[in-house]
Amino acid sequence: MERVESSKISRYFYAVLIYFFLWIVLTYPFSIQEWEAGAMIAFLGALLTYKQLSVAGVKNIKRIGILLFWYLPVFTWEMVKANIHVAGLVLNPKMPIKPGIVKIKTNLKSPVARVWLANSITLTPGTLSLDIEGEYLYIHWITVGSTDVEGASREIAGSFEKILEAMFK
C-alpha cells in the first residue's frame, strides 16, 4: 500500500514539474505573477491528469520529464539551424533549392514514437512528413542532400530518433 502511494505522489510531482516547465517556456514576459499563475495551474492540471500521463507507450513519468528536458533543446537547436538554412535559401538570388521526396527508415518500434518523429520533422523548416508506412517515412525535403535511405535518415531524423527511442522504450 505504501509503495502505491509513493508511486502516485512521485507521478503527481513529476507532472507538476513538467507542466510548470512548459508554462515557463511558453509564457512571455517573465514576471512573478506569471510564475505564480503557472504554479497554480501546474498543481491543478497535474491533479486532474497525472493518472493519464503514463499512456501512449510511455511507462515512467520520471523518464518523460527528463527526456523532455533533453528533447526540447535538441528540437530547438534543429529548428534554429533549419530556419537559418531556409532563410539563406530564400535570400540567395539564385534560390539553390533541390526539392524532392525521400524515403527514410526509422528504428522506432512504437507507433506513437513514429508520429512524434514525423511531427518533429514537419515542424522543422524545409521538411514535411508526407506518410508513415511501417518503418519508413516519406519526407518532402526542400534541398535533398542524400537520396539513399540511410543517408537521408541520418540527415533528417538522426538527432530526434535517439531521444525518441529512449523515450518510448
Domains of the chain: which residue ranges?
2-54, 94-167
Query: What contacts 120, CB < 8 A, 6 or more positions away?
Result: 75, 78, 160, 164
**What digits encode the pLDDT tens for the residues 18-52?**
888 888 877 777 788 888 888 888 888 888 877 76
CATH annotation of 94-167: 3.30.1370
Intervals of the chain under pLDDT 50: 1, 55-58
Directed axis angle between helix 149-167 and helix 61-91, to 10°?
Answer: 150
Q: So what's the pLDDT on residue 21?
A: 82
Neighbours of 77 (CB within 10 A): 11
Q: Which residues pair with 88 in a beta bridge?
A: none
| Contact predicate 149/40, CB 8 Å | no
Q: What is the DSSP letter of 108?
A: -
Q: DSSP assignment, residue 50?
A: G
